[in-house]
Amino acid sequence: MSYPSTVQAIAISKTGGPEVIEKREIPFPKVAPNHLVVKVQYLGVNFIDTYYRQVSKRLKCPEERAQVCDREGVYSPSEFPFVIGRETGGIVVGLPTDEFVLNNPDYKKRGYKEGSRVAVDHLSTHAEYISVPWETVYVIPESVSTLTAVSALEQGLTAISFMEEAYNVQKDDIILIHTVAGGLGLLMTQLAKSRGATVIGTTSTPEKAALAKANGADHVILYKSEDTVSRVLELTNGEGVHAIFDGVGKDTFESDFLMVRRKGTLVSVGNASGAVPPFPPIKLAQKNLKLLRPRYYSMANYIVTLAEVLYYGNTLFSLLANGTLKTQVFKEYPFTAEGVQQAQIDLTGGKTTGKLVVKVSD
Ligand SMILES: NC(=O)c1ccc[n+]([C@@H]2O[C@H](COP(=O)([O-])OP(=O)(O)OC[C@H]3O[C@@H](n4cnc5c(N)ncnc54)[C@H](OP(=O)(O)O)[C@@H]3O)[C@@H](O)[C@H]2O)c1
């Protein structure tokens, strides 16, 4: 296939507020021999997109070339203009040409073909066409739509890997999920319920609470009008929960210590309210707690090796195909600067539920 010489992409030329997001023409991405080329149909909107463009003092990453710099919860673009986004889906229009890749048994197992519908987990992919290493590309099974796959990819892989590896959720566990009505929270709720746990969630409004309950949450606490700590202790006979998955960060971290039980686990998932400030490790000794701050992707995280990619990808798509996981699309935004700006404003404004996506092409 001959490719156009340029593509439209969603990029930033500097860090800042939503207004720095622009739609710009960039050269067609460089196609390496180990790459798949994908014509993009949908983009998934995630907090990580907002972390990359946030106004903040520019951080010095520990490794100078690292694209992700998690200190203070802020991620740092490697260069400008910087194409944002790490969740994308569409149709394969070009296959790798490297013989070594084509003969790799793991590559063959994936079954890529021209025309395959795929979901892509790779940074800087919010563009009309992308060229990405084949390892980051998941073939979507027939029974799952491209929209569903894109809506579930990042949050689904996070939910599954965190609930298996950060804290392995078991039958009869009591789990607390903050941001319970969000994209990640709803998937975590469905997953924890499918494993036989009791789910307590926190959220801001009765409408969001109703959605969380419809997705399986047993108890939902309205943190703006109820005392979350008292309610959690009441619901757990004073013992606290086995594990907390906390995507709020700064505003909830301190009280998490009061709601988790002795020998329990705190999983700091994200920073919707801002980053968690530094604290002394002795704080964990009050209840002999475990604390994790994982990412599912990138180097040295949960989904890195080919075996891990295959395992978690297959698990995600089989849970979507058999209905254990169901995505809820809050809104489809247009592929314009204004559309993506609005999506990020809505996501960080705390008013959304479920997943936000951008439609790029049919
Ligand atoms: N570590 C990873 O690899 C990974 C992967 C995916 C997501 N995450 C993290 O998981 C968290 C949830 O992500 P999501 O995409 O599913 O988002 P989301 O939950 O759909 O949206 C964030 C929600 O956070 C709540 N919130 C509480 N305090 C807030 C504040 N001060 N400002 C804005 N929102 C506030 C709001 O819900 P209420 O109205 O219910 O309070 C808001 O709707 C984020 O922190 C994200 O970074 C981490």
Pair 222, 105 in one domain: no
Pair 29, 115 in one domain: yes
The domain that holds 52 is classified in CATH as 3.90.180.10
Pair 116, 188 in one domain: no
pLDDT digit string (tens) for the chain, length 362 residues: 789 999 999 999 998 999 999 999 999 999 999 999 999 999 999 999 998 887 554 444 444 333 344 444 457 787 899 999 999 999 999 999 999 999 999 999 999 999 999 999 999 999 999 999 999 999 999 999 999 999 999 999 999 999 999 999 999 999 999 999 999 999 999 999 999 999 999 999 999 999 999 999 999 999 999 999 999 999 999 999 999 999 999 999 999 999 999 999 999 998 898 888 889 999 999 999 999 999 877 656 999 999 999 999 999 999 999 999 999 999 999 999 999 999 999 999 999 999 999 999 99
Does the pTM exceed 0.85?
yes
User: pLDDT digits over 110-153, tens only?
Assistant: 999 999 999 999 999 999 999 999 999 999 999 999 999 999 99
Contact 271 CB / ligand 1 (< 6 Å):
yes
Pair 215, 172 in one domain: yes
Residue 144 lies in a domain: no
Residues 6+ apart with CB under 8 A from 185: 177, 178, 179, 201, 203, 212, 247
Residue 147 lies in a domain: no
User: 320 with 347: CB under 8 angstroms?
Assistant: no
Pair 131, 32 in one domain: yes
Residue 36 lies in a domain: yes
Pair 279, 187 in one domain: yes
Pair 134, 174 in one domain: no
Distance 82 CA to ligand 1 centre (A): 23
Contact 160 CB / ligand 1 (< 6 Å):
no
Pair 176, 262 in one domain: yes
Pair 160, 285 in one domain: yes
Residue with the two structure tokens 């009061």? 258
Which of 51, 158, 184 to probe ligand 1 with, by most ligand atoms within 8 A of CB?
A: 184
Pair 332, 276 in one domain: no
Residue 308 lies in a domain: no
CA distances to 71, 105, 107, 120, 149 from 110, rounded to whole Å, are 35, 9, 5, 13, 16
Pair 264, 338 in one domain: no
Residue 298 lies in a domain: no
DSSP state of 261: E
Range of the domain at 221: 154-292
Pair 249, 194 in one domain: yes
DSSP state of 128: S
User: What is the number of structural domains in the chain?
Assistant: 2
The domain that holds 180 is classified in CATH as 3.40.50.720
Contact 270 CB / ligand 1 (< 6 Å):
yes
The closest residue, in CA terms, to atom 8 on ligand 1 is 270
Report residue 204 CA to chain centroid gap. 21
The type of residue at 142 is: E
